[in-house]
Chains A and B, each alone.
Chain A
């Protein structure tokens, strides 16, 4: 088979993907750039309005609230997820009996579908009959009062906190990636550290963390992308991010604009702003990681 024919065959085999990518991804992406400058309700012709969608977003208090909720959630849930998954991975990288069992046990929660998880958490955090409040009433009766124990998901002071806590439930995925990274750390480095008299803290700081730093960077970037797009859990758990839109996140407002309010142009503008935020944070992560991430090569 000559070179030209080989290329043609390869392209032919890849063509389903090319067609799918062009029709279902590339075209909508390009169209959404244009539509973000339009008043577009899906069923009527798009009307070009210049930067109005973007300037309206600046004055939109719900947009600001959704953005602020998302930033707070990301700032808390992302480090929490990184620390919990790394901690679990390090624990599961030790030589203890029944390791396979523990690894499965800690990975299993991340297999629970998000909708099922949301319903489960509603049972746990329910203000009246929830497991948590039943325990608190049993064991902390001395703080009984009209505000104790709180209705966790119905109180704007706690609802975000609960959601951040729940986010750690999915740490199993990142944990598996960390575990693979940890097992790649050359044993001789630990032996050398041991010979030098390094303790656990010192070994972790000077050997483990630097050696798995590319994995940490990977999980950080994936975490930024994932947490900034949090949707399913708050969407199922709350009605419009209630109470008081305290768990109303960026993608929920984007969804509502597109499919409930029929303001697709506005939603496209929101989509592009989110894309730029994620892109900038990812680039920043790469920039900051230059000095701290060590690649084997």
Chain B
């Protein structure tokens, strides 16, 4: 009888005890008297290993902070949701292109007070990598690894076509124009007897990461930096005419089918490495990928074999010499999400990552250049990536470009991708396609500005 009376309370107590115990088991227990900070990073593979080694170095270099590194897929969504849920990591490794949107959404904190405290200054960085994280005058992120782009060309294919294998680098003392590149691309392009494209000299859609930015190479701009979209300006239209010229020359269906047949970027079936695309715009990371997936393309000092590929600044239109040295700059960044439990310790770790020691270790292990102007002695000399210094110089070009720093960038990039499709499939003229983007995105920007004002007004009210 007594047992029956106790049955319900015992069940409830048992359930509560189970919850409490499971919480105890799941919660990490540290006995090292260190502050443990959680660092979410998106990278796996070689890049992930480099981050792990750098974090391990930091953990062993001092005895106050321990960084728990977690590899997270879809890091943008998960960071956003973790902030909304009130349980974010202390440090997150986002993409540079995300910073404006995440800053506007108050997902990441303003780092200016920390920068002042730790004496981290703009002058320490290659300007573009600092500028990218500066949203309305405040710094919301700091670089982890940077990148810039250039033209990679397949020397073996140039040679096979009876051309100077280093023409993109040497032509007119390095003043290779887009018109000259197009002529060379036509000579390098090969068809199968059945009419299929076998090799393309150049394909603007490969690797397909910068469709939003081709206009800059022709003097175009995407916006005025505040309230006006300029998607259909003359430079952008010219760029899209150039994109359409490939489809007109080789057939839209043929080009689209050829592109669909190229292998994964990180594989030996990669279009460039497999010898399917003779010239391609690529970034500083590409050397590492060639070493991993097509080591036979690298130079061999022992046998005297020259590299089967070369790099040159991306060419510019003959009538726009002022666009020489145009390069995309991008970076991975470190941010402190809003609501992080240990922001001070998180920044101590970031401070280490931003020091020449930490930055050179990470960038060196990832076979990249450094975003810092002053590095540890021998950083470039010892860098396994023999092109790292070249890309660092590219990033200092006056024509360095990066994604528009606005919260509507994701919509803008999607709209430009859609216009790119329409133009390359010859479904719309460049003007028609870009007029659509102009209308859509100007409307989005107007709404965004209007909503931002409303949000600020509402936040002002709630503060009062």
Residues of A within 8 A of B (CB): 39, 41-45, 47, 49, 56, 59, 61-62, 126-129, 133, 137, 141, 144-148, 150-151, 153-156, 239-240, 242-245, 256, 259-262
Which residues of chain A come closer than 8 Å to B208, judged between CB atoms?
239
Contacts A144-B194, A144-B195, A262-B105 given; does A45 touch B455 at CB 8 Å: yes
Q: Which residues of A contact B443 (CB under 8 A)?
A: 59
State whether B411 touches A153 (Cβ < 8 A). no
Q: Does B196 contact A (CB under 8 A)?
A: yes
B256 in complex: contacting residue of A61, A133, A154, CB < 8 Å: A154
Residue contact A49 to B454, C-beta cutoff 8 Å: yes
- Residue in contact with A127 in the complex, picked from B101, B257, B421, B454, CB distance below 8 Å: B257
Would A126 and B261 count as touching, CB distance under 8 A?
yes
Instruction: Verify A127–B462 contact, CB threshold 8 A.
Output: no
Cα distance, A181 to B61, chains bound together (Å): 70
Q: Would you give the shortest CB distance from B42 to chain A, in whole angstroms?
A: 16
- Complex: A242 Cα to B257 Cα, angstroms: 14
Give the complex CA separation of A244 and B195 in angstroms: 25
B446 to chain A, nearest CB (A): 11
- Please tell me if B258 contacts chain A, counting CB pairs below 8 Å: yes
Contact string against A for B residues 451-464, beta-carbon threshold 8 Å, 1 for contact and 0 otherwise: 10011001100100
Q: Give Cα distance in the complex from A141 to B261, angstroms.
A: 20
The segment out of B46-54, B65-73, B76-84, B307-315 that lies at the interface is B76-84
Contact status of A128 and B257, CB under 8 A, knowing A47-B451, A244-B427: yes
The answer to whether A44 and B105 touch across the interface, beta carbons within 8 angstroms, is yes
**Interface membership of chain B positions 392-420, coded 1 if the CB is closer than 8 angstroms to chain A and 0 otherwise:** 00000000000000011011001001100
Q: Across the interface, which residues of B come within 8 angstroms of A126, CB to CB? A: 260-261
**A242 CA to B208 CA in the complex, in Å?**
13
CB interface residues, B 262-315, toward A, < 8 Å = none
**Do A154 and B80 have beta carbons less than 8 Å apart?**
no
Q: Do B256 and A127 touch (CB < 8 A)? A: yes
Q: A154 touches which one: B257, B418, B447 (CB < 8 A)? A: B257
Q: Across the interface, do B417 and A240 meet the contact criterion of CB distance under 8 Å?
A: yes
Query: B425 at the A/B interface (Cβ < 8 Å)?
Result: yes
Residue numbers in B under 8 Å from A151 (CB-CB): 253, 256-257, 260
Known: A42-B105, A43-B106, A240-B417. A155 touches B451 (CB 8 A): no
- Please state if A43 and B410 are interface contacts (CB–CB under 8 Å): no
Q: A45 and B462: CB pair below 8 A?
A: yes
Q: Evaluate whether A56 and B447 lie within 8 angstroms (CB atoms) in the complex, with A42-B105, A141-B194, A146-B251 already known.
A: yes
Evaluate contact between B455 and A39: CB separation under 8 angstroms. Answer: yes
Give every chain B residue within 8 A of A239 (Cβ-Cβ).
208, 417
- Docked pose: A62 CA to B458 CA in angstroms: 29
Q: How far is the CB of A235 from chain B (nearest CB, A)?
A: 13
The distance in angstroms between the C-alpha atoms of A146 and B436, with both chains bound, is 28
Which of chain B's residues has its CB closest to A154's CB?
B256
Q: How far is the CA of A128 from the CA of B194 in the complex (A)?
A: 12
Within 8 Å by CB of A137, from B84, B194, B252, B414, lies B194
Distance between B211 CB and nearest chain A CB, rounded to angstroms: 10
Asked if B425 contacts A156 (CB within 8 A), the reply is: yes
- Given A146-B252, A154-B256, 14 more A-B residue pairs with CB atoms under 8 Å apart are A41-B105, A42-B105, A43-B105, A44-B459, A126-B260, A126-B261, A127-B256, A128-B261, A144-B194, A151-B260, A154-B259, A239-B417, A245-B418, A259-B80
The answer to whether B417 and A45 touch across the interface, beta carbons within 8 angstroms, is no
Cα–Cα, bound, A62→B444 (Å):
12
Contact B107 A43 (CB under 8 A): yes
- Chain B residues whose CB sits within 8 angstroms of the CB of A240 once the complex forms: 414, 417-418
Given contacts A128-B196, A151-B260, contact A39 B454 (CB under 8 A): yes
Q: Which DSSP category, helix, strand, loop or mixed, fits chain A's interface? A: loop
Contact at B454–A47, with CB atoms within 8 Å?
Answer: yes
Q: List 29 A-B contacts (CB under 8 A).
A: A39-B455, A41-B105, A42-B80, A42-B105, A43-B105, A43-B106, A47-B458, A59-B443, A61-B436, A126-B261, A128-B257, A128-B260, A129-B261, A146-B253, A147-B253, A150-B257, A153-B260, A155-B425, A156-B427, A240-B417, A242-B421, A243-B256, A244-B418, A244-B422, A256-B410, A259-B77, A259-B80, A262-B80, A262-B105
B338 interface contact, C-beta 8 A: yes
Residues of A within 8 A of B410 (CB): 256, 260-261
- Complex-state Cα separation, A62 to B414, whole angstroms: 11
Q: Does B440 reach chain A (CB closer than 8 Å)? A: yes
- Which residue on chain A has the smallest CB distance to residue B410? A260
Report how far A63 CA is from B122 CA in the complex, Å.
Answer: 42
| Residues on B with beta carbons closer than 8 Å to the beta carbon of A49 | 451, 454
List 4 A-B pairs, minimum CB-CB distance, nearest first.
Answer: A128-B261, A127-B257, A146-B251, A151-B257
Assembly CA distance A145 to B104 (angstroms): 50
Residues of A within 8 A of B455 (CB): 39, 41, 44-45, 47
Q: B63 within 8 Å of A by Cβ?
A: no
- Contact among A150, A153, A242, A261 with B418 in the assembled complex (CB-CB below 8 Å): A242
Question: For B104, what are the chain A residues with a Cβ–Cβ distance below 8 Å?
Answer: 41
Q: In the complex, are the beta carbons of A243 and B195 less than 8 A apart?
A: no
- Is B254 an interface position by the 8 A CB rule? yes
Q: Across the interface, which residues of A come within 8 angstroms of B440, CB to CB?
A: 61-62
Which residues of chain A come closer than 8 Å to B252, judged between CB atoms? 146-147
Q: Indicate if the CB atoms of A256 and B425 lie closer than 8 Å.
A: no
Q: Within 8 Å CB of A128, what residues of B?
A: 196, 257-258, 260-261
By a CB distance below 8 angstroms, the chain A residues around B459 are 44-45
A254 to B254, CA, bound (A): 33
With contacts A151-B260, A155-B256 known, is A39 near B451, CB below 8 A?
A: yes
CB proximity of A25 to chain B, nearest CB, Å = 17
Task: Give B232-259 as 1s and 0s: 1 = Cβ < 8 Å from A's Cβ atoms.
Answer: 0000000000000000001111101111
